[in-house]
């Protein structure tokens, strides 16, 4: 893998090769391993090592990018030439800003440094130890007469950005992840967890929980579609709410493709909904700088249901301030959420943290999933959602399916497994109908990025069809 | 790079290794986009690396690297062996590969104009011309255009003697007009959503697409949708345009016929399939008019699933999937072929790039056109009461591929054989086999287009590859329409 020193050396070489007014280089270097299992055996087992250098050159108001994963002089020269020739043929863009200086990009201005996200014990996991973990999870499946499928992955990565105005930033990270499905004859259960520290993974617990769900949802009943009270596990919450965060973007507002156009400052969700974006949160992951090297700032996206703040890349903030939206979208400052330039979408918050409202516990609004179930007369308990797609971009109606552990709750107890439902539900309505929620945890799904989210009990969730299993 | 692949293969050829292959891949790509009259993205990229795949003790190991010096390649080959030994600790049976005569071959996908030989200035000029046409209607609030080229060159060597060098060009382009007004965002895309039309061919695709000629209409339609009536709810006759039918095939035929899904190998992520093994040659999948093939051969057309050899070195084939409505075939690989009693792989293993494991992927899964001459206008003229829907907007299907729901960008009501009022927010839903059994007409060859789906995701780590889907417009009876907005 590329070291910080190697990256600095490569940046110097690239800088000397380029005749551009400004040069920016982004490095991504990773070692990734994934052991995949199905039918209680390992059927795929892979490892890869790759480093990518991405070069942006600026000529006045013209900018373009070229990327390569080869670091010899010839390859780098070719990438520099490609970036320069792509930039030179463009018309001048008056909105393109000079690259940020180190001072403008900011360091860690907060008293608390970023939590440790690189763990040697994660980086050093071997194929043999991954196989041992999988074997123990397969034994859980055998013991319950179930079939298991899933993954155990390990990665270590380095991410850096340098520019010719003196900016140089580096971030190291590791990640360990297990996702496991247990399958019975007519049922299934699922669990997933990841952490920078492999020591936080509990494979046995994940396997046992998935197995319990598979057993409990056996012989599913068919329920009629309709509006139900639902209890959503954190992974199900993050997968459905994930669609809204692309719209907390200044460019999305300028483009008038955001559901927040005309709604910033209004109360859109329930009083109990508070959402921030905070890369420094101890349960979050990722680098503390954005695609231009700007320090990521904490944003209060939603406060007591009111849309408060939007993410702005540097150029977006300038454009919004000069636009009709300047006074309609909350505070307009560069927030450190921009994607690498040039790009079409600008920025978005990707370190989402749902927060418990003040005194929520005292009011009984913080509940465990068991408490949510015991307080439900009739409802549906959902483990996982799947294939979620946006149906209506402004009302944020989404469709998707339940999967891998869907249960009927009656009279405060799980009554039985049920056949999976299709939903068509507005996320705006959903977040206006949250009766109670759990303690926010780090969760990982399949349809959206990882977040810190709670389980939620939501009223009037709209199931429109039922499938055959 | 062949020499590099040979070093890898030699390094993997140890006594304990019963099978090995080495695959080196070089990819070059150009991506250009515009937005509201300005260039919004311009980039080029190159990626080069090599993967080694081995069977040791009856189990798989795979390792890949972008470091191409001899020492790094040997280390990678030895790492693949170490990984295979670890895999063997959690196995029940040895991997069984269907035999395949080792091919020695060179192949390049046909093209007239190498897209990388065209100037970026001309590429951008075309996109900006389209952009201006779209925005000639003041109601368009966002115009986005895009153009993508890719050249992929691969070298495949195996311990069985395969030596295959393939070069493939991919070209894609398209645009979208958005119109925001009141509390509604409407959009229209051309010639399809997902970035437009994509094929394995050269720049000549751009000339065929008539991008500029259609741009003004697309902008006008995006704005007109704001004044259209809401698509009604209830059972209706529907006609789908070829691009939407292509995605319907992708989701409700292409994925469920993947044999690895059927065997549970994708259960944790992509899911399984309702097409369990006992259904082969027995299940009535669709009406008599439904004939579907999975065809990777060049003669099927320049689809995103066209090649000469798959990434296991198996020659491209055409497999009947549905024959006169009867389910007749799966997509298979060397490892899975024996589970359906086949002696040879169907040749559908593909990898996203040098750093990914080949797995069963759709090739060109296409519905064959009708035998009798039938244009779209004739099909509409023969429909008394129905809804014609165009261009996908949303898509979702359960993890066994039974229950689906699709939204389209635009629709028109058909009354007494005439296309009448425009309808907004059209959607339809159903159960896969019930839907395909309701097909009672399909247009003929003149209306058949080999559509490209560039964004098919599968596997862990996820691999995104392109697939091809030939389709002509078709009619379906008694389909549930409008459920997406029910209760909203």
**pLDDT tens profile B345-372:** 999 999 999 999 999 999 999 999 999 9
CA distance A373 to A366: 13
Chain B hits for A38, CB-CB cut-off 8 Å, are 263-268
What is the CA angle A464-B227-A463, rounded to 5? Answer: 5
Chain B hits for A83, CB-CB cut-off 8 Å, are 44
What is the CA angle B143-B147-B149, rounded to 5? Answer: 165
Q: Which tens digit of pLDDT belongs to each residue from A254-285?
A: 999 999 999 999 999 999 999 999 999 999 99
The contacts of residue A241 (CB under 8 Å, 6+ apart) are A427, A430, A431, A448, A451, A453
What is the CA angle B281-B286-B292, rounded to 5? Answer: 75
CA distance A81 to A159: 23
Q: 3-state secondary structure string, chain A?
A: CCCHHHHHHHHHHHHHHCCCCEEEEEEEEEEEEEEEEECCEEEEEEEEEEEEEEEEEEECCEEEEEEECCCCHHHHHHHHHHHHHHHHCCCCCCCCCCCCCHHHHCCCCCCCCCCCCCCHHHHCCCHHHHHHHHHHHHHHHHHCCCEEEEEEEEEEEEEEEEECCCCEEEEEEEEEEEEEEEECCCCEEEEEEEECCHHHCCHHHHHHHHHHHHHHCCCCECCCCEEEEEEECHHHHHHHHHHHHHHCEHHHHHCCCCCCCCCCCCECCCCCCEEEECCCCCCCCCCCECCCCCECCCEEEEECCEECCCECCHHHHHHHHCCCCCCCCCCCCCCCCECCCCCCCCECCCCEEEECCCCCCCCCCECCHHHHHHCCCEEEEEEEEEEEEEEECCCCEEEEEEEEEEEEEECCEEEEEECCEEEEEEHHHHCCCEEEECCCEEECCCCCCCEEECCEEEEEEEEEEECCC
**Cβ pair A355, A275 in contact under 8 A:** yes
Q: Which tens digit of pLDDT belongs to each residue from A403-445?
A: 999 999 999 999 999 999 999 999 999 999 999 999 999 999 9
> How would you classify residue B482: left for phi > 0, otherwise alpha for psi between -120 and 50, otherwise beta?
left
Which of A:57-86 have CB within 8 Å of B?
Answer: 64-70, 75, 78-79, 82-83, 85-86
Question: Is A217 in the B-facing interface, judged by CB distances under 8 Å?
Answer: no
Tokens 């903030």 sit at which residue? A317
Q: Which helix (H) or strand (E) holds B425?
A: none
**Cβ pair B333, B459 in contact under 8 A:** no
CA distance A133 to B124: 52
Chain A hits for B405, CB-CB cut-off 8 Å, are 399, 422, 424, 465
Which candidate, B308, B203, B222, B290, places its Cα nearest to that of B253?
Answer: B290
Which of B:262-281 have CB within 8 Å of A?
Answer: 263-269, 271-272, 274
Backbone angles phi, psi at A466, to 5 degrees: -125, 145
Cβ distance B405 to A89 less than 8 Å, yes or no, reads: no
* A166–chain B nearest CA distance, Å: 24
| Range B67-89 average pLDDT | 97
| Range B160-178 average pLDDT | 98
**Exposure string for A312-342, b = 16+ CB within 10 A, e = fewer:** bbbbbbbbbeeeebeebbbebebbbbbbbbb
Cβ distance B399 to A401 less than 8 Å, yes or no, reads: yes
Paired tokens of A240: 């459905």
Which candidate, A238, A273, A237, places its Cα nearest to that of A381?
Answer: A237
* B172–chain A nearest CA distance, Å: 18
Chain A hits for B141, CB-CB cut-off 8 Å, are 255-256
Which candidate, B153, B172, B165, B169, places its Cα nearest to that of B110?
Answer: B169
Query: Residue A323's pLDDT is what?
Result: 94
Query: Residue A108's pLDDT is what?
Result: 52
* A316–chain B nearest CA distance, Å: 13
Strands (E), B265-384: 292-295, 318-323, 326-327, 349-350, 359-360, 365-367
Question: Is A28 in the B-facing interface, judged by CB distances under 8 Å?
Answer: no
Query: Residue A107's pLDDT is what?
Result: 63
Q: How many CB atoms lie within 10 A of CB B72?
A: 14
Mutate to test the interface with A, among B62, B149, B273, B399 (most CBs of A within 10 A): B399
With a cut of 60, say whether residue B79 has pLDDT above it: yes
Which of A:177-216 have CB within 8 Å of B?
Answer: 179-181, 183, 188, 190
**Cβ pair A45, A127 in contact under 8 A:** yes
- Nearest chain B Cα to A94, which residue? B38
Query: Residue B255's pLDDT is what?
Result: 98
Share of chain A above pLDDT 90, in %: 94
CA distance A346 to A28: 20
CA distance A420 to A221: 10
Cβ distance A179 to B269 less than 8 Å, yes or no, reads: yes
Of B43, B82, B178, the CB nearest to A64: B43
Query: Residue B50's pLDDT is what?
Result: 98
* B146–chain A nearest CA distance, Å: 11
* B367–chain A nearest CA distance, Å: 24
Measured distance between the N- and C-terminal CA atoms of chain B, rounded to whole angstroms: 57
Cβ distance A426 to B488 less than 8 Å, yes or no, reads: yes
**Cβ pair B85, B56 in contact under 8 A:** yes
Of B44, B76, B185, the CB nearest to A393: B185
Question: Is B119 in the A-facing interface, judged by CB distances under 8 Å?
Answer: yes
Mean pLDDT is lowest, of A34-38, A111-115, B390-394, B423-427, for: A111-115
With a cut of 50, say whether residue A109 has pLDDT above it: no
- Nearest chain B Cα to A400, which residue? B396
CATH number of B2-227: 3.30.2290.10
Query: Residue B488's pLDDT is what?
Result: 52
**Cβ pair B463, B457 in contact under 8 A:** yes
Mutate to test the interface with B, among A339, A399, A463 (most CBs of B within 10 A): A399
Backbone angles phi, psi at B351, to 5 degrees: -120, 150
Residue B486 banded pLDDT, cuts 50, 70, 90: confident
What letter does residue B94 receive in the DSSP assignment? Answer: -
| Range B316-340 average pLDDT | 98
**Cβ pair B4, B25 in contact under 8 A:** no
Cβ distance B484 to A395 less than 8 Å, yes or no, reads: no
* B417–chain A nearest CA distance, Å: 29
Residue B249 banded pLDDT, cuts 50, 70, 90: very high
CA distance B3 to B89: 33
CA distance A90 to A78: 19
Cβ distance B64 to A49 less than 8 Å, yes or no, reads: yes
CA distance A155 to B311: 26
| Range B281-287 average pLDDT | 98
Strands (E), B90-162: 104-108, 142-158
| Range A145-150 average pLDDT | 98
Backbone angles phi, psi at B82, to 5 degrees: -60, -40
Question: Is B62 in the A-facing interface, judged by CB distances under 8 Å?
Answer: yes
Alpha helices in B102-164 (DSSP H): 120-134
Cβ distance B400 to A45 less than 8 Å, yes or no, reads: no
Question: Is A326 in the B-facing interface, judged by CB distances under 8 Å?
Answer: no
CA distance A197 to A35: 18
The contacts of residue B101 (CB under 8 Å, 6+ apart) are none
Which of B:368-397 have CB within 8 Å of A?
Answer: 393-397
> How would you classify residue B392: left for phi > 0, otherwise alpha for psi between -120 and 50, otherwise beta?
beta
**Cβ pair B454, B198 in contact under 8 A:** yes
**Cβ pair A412, A375 in contact under 8 A:** yes
User: What domains are defined for chain A?
Assistant: 4-209 (3.30.2290.10), 220-469 (no CATH)
Q: Which helix (H) or strand (E) holds B335?
A: none
Sign of the torsion angle spanned by Cα atoms B214, B220, B226, B229 = negative
Question: Is A465 in the B-facing interface, judged by CB distances under 8 Å?
Answer: yes
Which of B:408-467 have CB within 8 Å of A?
Answer: 425, 427, 429, 431, 460-461
Cβ distance B63 to A93 less than 8 Å, yes or no, reads: no
Sign of the torsion angle spanned by Cα atoms B310, B312, B317, B318 = negative
CA distance B145 to B127: 6
Share of chain A above pLDDT 70, in %: 99
What is the CA angle A401-A404-A410, rounded to 5? Answer: 85
Query: Residue A86's pLDDT is what?
Result: 96
Q: Which helix (H) or strand (E) holds B396?
A: strand B385-397
Please give the residue that has the higher pLDDT: either B223 or A327: B223
How far is the CA of A151 from the CAs of A34, A125, B99, B267, in angstroms?
7, 14, 29, 11
How far is the CA of B377 from the CAs of A279, B237, B373, B428, B443, in angstroms?
56, 16, 12, 22, 10
Would you list the domain boundaries of chain B?
2-227, 230-485
The contacts of residue B179 (CB under 8 Å, 6+ apart) are B139, B140, B141, B185, B186, B187, B222, B223, B225, B226
Q: 3-state secondary structure string, B10-60?
A: HHHCCCCEEEEEEEEEEEEEEEEEEECCEEEEEEEEEEEEEEEEEEECCEE
Helix A4-17 to helix A73-88 angle (10° resolution) is 60
């Amino acid at each position: 893998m590329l070291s910080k020193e190697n990256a600095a050396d490569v940046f110097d070489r690239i800088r000397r090769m380029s005749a551009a007014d400004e040069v920016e280089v982004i490095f991504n270097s990773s070692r990734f391993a994934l052991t995949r299992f199905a039918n209680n055996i390992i059927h795929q087992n892979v490892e890869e090592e790759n480093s990518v250098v991405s070069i942006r050159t600026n000529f006045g108001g013209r900018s373009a990018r070229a990327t390569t994963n080869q670091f010899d002089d010839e390859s780098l020269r070719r990438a520099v030439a490609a970036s320069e020739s792509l930039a030179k043929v463009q018309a001048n863009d008056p909105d393109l800003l000079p690259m940020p200086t180190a001072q403008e990009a900011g360091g860690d201005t907060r008293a608390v440094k970023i939590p440790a996200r690189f763990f040697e014990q994660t980086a050093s996991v071997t194929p043999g130890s991954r196989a041992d973990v999988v074997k123990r999870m397969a034994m859980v499946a055998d013991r319950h007469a179930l079939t298991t499928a899933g993954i155990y992955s390990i990665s270590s990565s380095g991410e850096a950005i340098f520019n010719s105005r003196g900016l140089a930033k580096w971030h190291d990270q590791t990640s360990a992840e297990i996702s496991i499905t247990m399958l019975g004859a007519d049922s299934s259960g699922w669990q997933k967890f990841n952490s920078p520290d492999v020591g936080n993974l509990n494979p046995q617990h994940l396997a046992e929980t998935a197995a319990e769900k598979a057993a409990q949802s056996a012989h599913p009943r068919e329920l009629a579609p309709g509006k139900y009270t639902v209890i959503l596990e954190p992974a199900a919450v993050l997968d459905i709410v994930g669609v809204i965060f692309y719209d907390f973007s200044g460019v999305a507002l300028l483009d008038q493709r955001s559901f927040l156009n005309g709604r910033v400052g209004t109360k859109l969700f329930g009083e109990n909904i508070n959402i921030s974006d905070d890369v420094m949160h101890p349960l979050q992951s990722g680098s503390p700088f954005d695609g231009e090297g700007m320090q990521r700032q904490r944003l209060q996206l939603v406060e007591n249901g009111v849309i408060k703040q939007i993410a702005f890349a540097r150029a977006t903030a300038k454009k919004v301030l000069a636009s009709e939206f300047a006074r309609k979208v909350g505070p307009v400052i560069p927030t450190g959420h921009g994607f690498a330039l040039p790009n079409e979408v600008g920025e978005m918050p990707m370190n989402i943290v749902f927060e418990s409202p003040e005194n929520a516990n005292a009011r009984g609004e913080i509940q465990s999933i068991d408490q949510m179930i015991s307080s439900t007369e009739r409802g549906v308990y959902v483990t996982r959602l799947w294939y979620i797609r946006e149906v209506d971009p402004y009302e944020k109606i989404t469709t998707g399916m339940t999967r891998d552990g869907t249960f009927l709750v009656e009279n405060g107890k799980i009554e039985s497994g049920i056949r999976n439902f299709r939903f068509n539900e507005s996320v705006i309505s959903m977040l206006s109908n949250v009766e109670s929620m759990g303690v926010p945890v780090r969760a990982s799904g399949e349809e959206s990025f990882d977040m810190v989210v709670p389980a939620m009990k939501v009223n009037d969730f709209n199931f429109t069809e039922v499938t055959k299993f | 790079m062949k020499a590099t692949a040979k070093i890898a293969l030699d390094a993997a050829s140890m006594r304990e290794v019963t099978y090995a292959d080495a695959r080196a891949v070089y990819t070059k790509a150009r991506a250009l986009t515009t937005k509201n009259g300005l260039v919004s993205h311009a980039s080029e990229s190159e990626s080069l690396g090599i993967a080694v795949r081995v069977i040791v003790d009856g189990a798989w190991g795979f390792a890949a690297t972008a470091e191409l010096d001899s020492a790094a390649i040997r280390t990678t080959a030895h790492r693949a062996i170490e990984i295979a030994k670890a895999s063997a600790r959690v196995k029940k049976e040895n991997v069984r590969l269907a035999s395949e005569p080792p091919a020695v071959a060179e192949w390049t996908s046909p093209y007239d104009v190498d897209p990388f030989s065209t100037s970026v200035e001309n590429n951008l000029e075309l996109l900006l011309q389209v952009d201006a046409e779209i925005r000639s209607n003041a109601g368009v609030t966002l115009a986005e255009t895009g153009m993508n080229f890719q050249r992929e060159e691969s070298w495949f060597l195996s311990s069985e003697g395969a030596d295959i060098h393939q070069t493939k060009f991919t070209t894609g382009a398209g645009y979208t007009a958005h119109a925001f007004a009141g509390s509604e965002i409407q959009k229209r895309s051309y010639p399809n959503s997902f970035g437009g039309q994509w094929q394995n061919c050269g720049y000549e695709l751009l000339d065929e697409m008539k991008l500029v000629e259609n741009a003004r209409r697309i902008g006008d339609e995006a704005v007109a949708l704001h004044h259209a009536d809401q698509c009604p709810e209830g059972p209706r006759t529907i006609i789908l345009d070829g691009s939407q039918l292509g995605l319907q095939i992708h989701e409700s035929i292409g994925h469920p016929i993947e044999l690895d899904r059927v065997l549970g190998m994708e259960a944790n992520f992509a899911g399984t399939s309702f097409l369990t093994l006992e259904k082969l040659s027995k299940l009535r999948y669709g009406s008599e008019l439904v004939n579907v093939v999975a065809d990777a051969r060049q003669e099927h057309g320049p689809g995103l699933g066209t090649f000469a050899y798959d990434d296991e070195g198996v020659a491209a084939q055409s497999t009947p999937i549905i024959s006169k409505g009867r389910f007749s075939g799966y997509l298979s690989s060397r490892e899975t072929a024996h589970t359906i009693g086949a002696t040879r792989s169907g040749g559908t293993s593909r990898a996203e790039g040098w750093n990914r494991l080949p797995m069963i992927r759709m090739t060109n899964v296409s519905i064959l056109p009708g035998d009798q001459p039938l244009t779209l206008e004739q099909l509409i003229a023969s429909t008394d009461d129905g809804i014609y829907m165009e261009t996908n907007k949303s898509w979702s299907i359960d993890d066994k591929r039974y229950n689906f729901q699709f939204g389209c960008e635009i629709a028109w009501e058909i009354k007494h054989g005439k296309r009448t009022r425009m309808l907004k927010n059209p959607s339809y839903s159903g159960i896969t086999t019930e839907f395909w059994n309701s097909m009672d007409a399909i247009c003929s060859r003149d209306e058949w287009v080999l559509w490209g789906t560039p964004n098919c995701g599968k596997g862990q780590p996820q691999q995104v590859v392109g697939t091809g889907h030939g389709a002509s417009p078709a009619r379906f009876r008694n389909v549930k329409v409008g459920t997406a907005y029910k209760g909203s």
